[in-house]
Amino acid sequence: MDGWAHIGKLEGFVRQDSIDIEMSQCLSAVDDCLMKFQLISQMEIHSWQSDFATSAKLDHMEHMEALSEIIIGQEIAGSKLDKVMNMLQDMLAENRQTAQRTHIGISKNLWQLQIKSGELMPKLLKSGEVRRLNEQPIRWTSIIDVYEGIYLETEKVYIKALRVVDANEDSLRVRASNEK
């Protein structure tokens, strides 16, 4: 390209096509270089984001593990208590699928918080607080089944479940004829 800057106007006019081709080639080379730079920087950003996500996940798991192993020993009052119980309850629901040991630890710490504070959880029975111990009901009536369960892996409870009534037209006719 340097060579074209030193030729005269007339020769430049005559060689206009070859100058145009060479300039297009230079422009393509610059575009290719920029594209490579963009691709490399995007790949690095993606790698950093992936590393960050992995680190965040590991930190979260360590945090949950630590919360499942601590012993509630200090008094927590007011809005702090609600926040701690809410956080433990969220972790309890999230952790149910990942690790039974951590789930049990979080459950027991949540139970201790409730006993020491005399407060109920902010969100009653969000998920994972009560576990049914068997598939068969221990008692039943025409509208409910009663199951045995355990609350926060500590306290035995009874779970009442409403029976689902099949309300399609045929079942309603059968029920009506049975009630006559």
> Is residue 41 located within the same domain as residue 77?
no
> Is residue 84 located within the same domain as residue 144?
yes
pLDDT at 52: 93
> Is residue 78 located within the same domain as residue 158?
yes
> Is residue 32 located within the same domain as residue 103?
no
Residues belonging to the chain: 180
Return mean pLDDT, the chain. Answer: 78
> Is residue 141 located within the same domain as residue 79?
yes
Q: What is the mean pLDDT of residues 67-91?
A: 66
Count of alpha carbons within 13 Å of 129, Cβ hemisphere only? Answer: 19
pLDDT band at residue 146 under the 50/70/90 scheme: very high
CB count within 10 Å of CB 95 equals: 24
Task: Tell me if 61 is assigned to some domain.
Answer: no
Q: What is the pLDDT of residues 30-54, one digit of tens each?
A: 999 999 989 998 999 989 999 999 9
Structural domain tally of the chain? 2
pLDDT at 116: 81
> Is residue 44 located within the same domain as residue 76?
no
CB environment 25-37: b (16+ within 10 A), e (fewer)? eeeeeeeeeeeee
> Is residue 77 located within the same domain as residue 152?
yes
pLDDT at 62: 80
Task: Tell me if 175 is assigned to some domain.
Answer: no
> Is residue 119 located within the same domain as residue 150?
yes
What tokens appear for 97 in the block? 């699928």
d(CA 17, CA 13): 9
Model confidence at 148: pLDDT above 90: yes
Task: Tell me if 64 is assigned to some domain.
Answer: no
Q: Is 148 helix (H, G, I), strand (E, B) or coil?
A: strand
Task: Tell me if 170 is assigned to some domain.
Answer: no
pLDDT band at residue 78 under the 50/70/90 scheme: low
> Is residue 99 located within the same domain as residue 158?
yes
pLDDT band at residue 164 under the 50/70/90 scheme: confident
DSSP 8-state symbol, 70: -
Task: Look up residue 29 and give its amino acid.
Answer: A
> Is residue 152 located within the same domain as residue 86?
yes
CB count within 10 Å of CB 103 equals: 22
pLDDT band at residue 172 under the 50/70/90 scheme: low
pTM exceeds 0.75, yes or no: no
Task: Tell me if 149 is assigned to some domain.
Answer: yes
Query: Bigger pLDDT: 134 or 128?
Result: 134
Domain span holding position 32: 2-48
What tokens appear for 3 in the block? 């060579």
Question: What CA–CA distances, in Å, run from 7 to 20, 24, 62, 138?
Answer: 15, 19, 71, 101
> Is residue 26 located within the same domain as residue 92?
no
> Is residue 74 located within the same domain as residue 158?
yes
Main-chain dihedrals φ then ψ at residue 140, nearest 5 degrees: -160, 155
DSSP 8-state symbol, 97: T
Model confidence at 149: pLDDT above 60: yes
